[in-house]
């Protein structure tokens, strides 16, 4: 997506004192076309913030562009090989010790197991 690669559209205007120079426009001077070009960034920001848990949302919602939010998410989610292996070991142990809890419905059991299997798959371990 262009917004994540190039960043947010910045409306520009000619500089009043320097003829061959451009400067950013204040929001009060944005045109309808500028608003159309900015809309994908705003929409993507909302999607990114809404898709994160509360802790992550609070860390990223202060940024002004979807690109900056995305870069921050990538940085925060980056793991070393040791961390990845440790996470895989924990998930494997959880899978091997998986059992239902008292009062848990079949749907709840399935949802927990499905989530666990998805996380294992993300980390490269698949169970048939």
Q: What is the pLDDT of residue 80?
A: 72
Q: What is the pLDDT of residue 5?
A: 81
Collect all residues with Cβ–Cβ distance below 8 Å to 108 and sequence separation of at least 6.
none
Per-residue pLDDT tens over the stretch 48-62: 888 888 878 888 888
Per-residue pLDDT tens over the stretch 72-113: 888 777 767 787 888 899 999 999 999 999 999 999 999 999
CA distances from 5 to 1, 55, 58, 71, 122 (A): 7, 25, 23, 10, 24
Question: pTM for this one?
Answer: 0.53
């Amino acid at each position: 997506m262009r917004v994540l690669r190039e960043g947010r559209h910045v409306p520009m205007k000619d500089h009043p004192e320097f003829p061959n120079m451009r400067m950013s426009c204040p929001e009060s001077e944005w045109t309808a076309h500028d608003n159309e070009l900015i809309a994908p960034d705003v929409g993507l920001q909302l999607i990114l913030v809404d898709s994160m848990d509360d802790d992550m949302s609070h860390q990223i919602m202060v940024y002004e562009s979807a690109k900056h939010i995305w870069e921050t998410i990538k940085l925060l989610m980056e793991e070393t090989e040791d961390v990845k292996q440790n996470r895989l070991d924990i998930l494997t142990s959880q899978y091997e010790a998986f059992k239902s809890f008292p009062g848990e419905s079949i749907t709840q059991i399935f949802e927990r197991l499905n989530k666990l299997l998805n996380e294992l798959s993300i980390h490269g371990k698949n169970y048939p």
